[in-house]
Amino acid sequence: MTFNNLQLIAPLQKALSEACYTTPTPVQEKSIPVILQKRDVLACAQTGTGKTASFALPLLQLLHLEPERGNNSCRALILVPTRELALQVAESFTTYGKHLALKHLAIFGGVSQHHQVNALQQQVDVLIATPGRLLDLLNQRCLSLNHIKYLVLDEADRMLDMGFIHDVRKIFSRLPLQRQTILFSATMPPEIQQLSDTLLNQPVKIAVTPPATTVDRIQQLLYYTEKQHKPSLLLHLLKDEEMQTVLVFVRTKYGADRIAKNLTRAGIKAAAIHGNKSQSARQTALLNFKTGTIRVLVATDIAARGIDIDDMGYVINYELPNIPETYVHRIGRTGRAGANGIAISFCDDEEKEYLRDIQKLVNKKIPTVRGHVFDVPLMHENDLKAKHPLHTAPAKNNRNKRQNRFFARKD
């Protein structure tokens, strides 16, 4: 299967070829033909499976093939939970739609609305928006949704986690009843299923993997340690210079700042990203991370949404999330676009309950690294010894060689 088999128009095929895209992912293969048929879609797809192209490509084609209209009203609305994801989706529309005469615009909070309002006065075919800023502009009568024909709700479960569902319902009440609706979610909790029942009309259901499972190509490793030893363990791992492009997850904004400062003092180029950072500071940190100017990005869960780097080699859960579904979102930042990835989790005694919930959700016992310098043997008492394939299998490539370094070593 190639993109040539998906009945995409020549301008889209040309853009995909220039971006070196040849083979669609499973979610793209299943979603694109259905969306082109103007059917509603309910898709459960993990982060990193190529879902943005799954809706962006067919929407661009449908909009391009429609007759010219006589006004500047927006025809497609894409709702996303964070500004980072809004920018990421907008970047994808730029890439895929470069040979089409269609305009898109991303609007989000955290910045002045002046330029966004001015841009809305021009022709905008696709509007990419976070719920809060969109509601603000709707209430100020800066735009109308009366001509929306296509609606995408991206990362619906994260919308739920962040408390946006009430805002989302308000937005839905202002949309035309006759529309095509597409809902993507990495997990499918009951609340999202109920939401889809009220919004979608006989949707085609697409699930490329079972709900809440993690991408198989991601190597998951667990380090038991005491809470006070986590900073030292992180520095110990980062001594390996092969670990480039490392995303470190923490639960609090204060923790993100503290860890980034500690790493910087230790000579490791790092930055923190969280909700208290200005939009310009967040964008600068992301750009520096993507270009390799900094090696480590320390992030809270909400701030990390929308980070999409194909060669993200490593994710480190410095603190385990108290919501198991969040673990799936976190480690999905690596192992993207067909690449391998390594997800490392630190676990102290207070977090063992979180670990049990995570392993129950993903239906997998995360292999434990034993004998490292900050290990806590007593925490292994109730742990079955996990025999990981890399203990016996020879390394096949450089990435596998790097993976072997994370298992018990003599220091």
Question: Backbone phi, then psi, for 343, in 5-degree steps?
Answer: -115, 115
Residue type, position 204, single letter: V
Q: Is 366 helix (H, G, I), strand (E, B) or coil?
A: coil
Residue 150 belongs to domain with CATH number: 3.40.50.300
Question: Among residues 184, 207, 230, which one ends one of the domains?
Answer: 207
**CB distance 365 to 386 below 8 Å:** yes
Predicted local confidence at residue 394, as pLDDT: 34
Predicted local confidence at residue 271, as pLDDT: 94
Domain that holds residue 165: 3-207
Q: Do 47 and 146 share a domain, yes or no? A: yes
Does residue 411 form part of some domain? no
**CB distance 286 to 273 below 8 Å:** yes
Q: Do 131 and 83 share a domain, yes or no? A: yes
Does residue 410 form part of some domain? no
Question: Would you give the DSSP letter of residue 301?
Answer: H
Low-confidence spans in the chain with pLDDT less than 70:
47-48, 68-72, 209-216, 303-311, 335-339, 381-411
Predicted local confidence at residue 49, as pLDDT: 74
Q: Do 224 and 200 share a domain, yes or no? A: no
Does residue 250 form part of some domain? yes
Q: Do 286 and 321 share a domain, yes or no? A: yes
Predicted local confidence at residue 146, as pLDDT: 92
* Element spanning 42, H or E: strand 41-44
Q: Do 231 and 195 share a domain, yes or no? A: no
Nearest to 135 by CA among 191, 77, 187: 77
Q: Do 56 and 192 share a domain, yes or no? A: yes
Structural tokens at position 380: 């292994």
Q: Do 173 and 69 share a domain, yes or no? A: yes
Q: Do 144 and 232 share a domain, yes or no? A: no
Predicted local confidence at residue 70, as pLDDT: 55
Q: Do 319 and 351 share a domain, yes or no? A: yes
**From its phi and psi, is residue 292 left (phi > 0), alpha (psi between -120 and 50) or beta?**
left
**CB distance 186 to 156 below 8 Å:** no
Q: Cα(365)–Cα(363) distance, rounded to whole angstroms?
A: 7
Q: Cα(85)–Cα(294) distance, rounded to whole angstroms?
A: 21
* Element spanning 65, H or E: helix 51-65
Residue for token digits 């109730």?
Answer: 382
Question: Among residues 207, 242, 266, which one ends one of the domains?
Answer: 207
* Element spanning 249, H or E: strand 246-249
Q: Cα(161)–Cα(81) distance, rounded to whole angstroms?
A: 10
Does residue 39 form part of some domain? yes
Which residues are registered as beta bridge partners of 347? 224
Predicted local confidence at residue 291, as pLDDT: 87
Question: Backbone phi, then psi, for 345, in 5-degree steps?
Answer: -125, 130
Q: Do 194 and 236 share a domain, yes or no? A: no
Structural tokens at position 106: 């991303």
Predicted local confidence at residue 195, as pLDDT: 87
Residue type, position 212, single letter: A
Q: Cα(230)–Cα(223) distance, rounded to whole angstroms?
A: 10
- For 207-238, the pLDDT digits (tens) are 876 555 556 678 999 999 999 999 999 999 99
Q: Cα(272)–Cα(74) distance, rounded to whole angstroms?
A: 36
Number of domains making up the chain = 2
How far is C-alpha 344 from the chain's CA centre?
18
Q: Do 179 and 282 share a domain, yes or no? A: no
Residue type, position 190, single letter: P
Does residue 119 form part of some domain? yes
Question: Would you give the DSSP letter of residue 407?
Answer: S
Question: Among residues 144, 173, 207, which one ends one of the domains?
Answer: 207
Structural tokens at position 102: 């269609």
Does residue 14 form part of some domain? yes
Question: Any idea what the Cα angle at residue 116 is, between residues 89 and 129, rounded to 5°?
Answer: 35
Q: Do 288 and 159 share a domain, yes or no? A: no
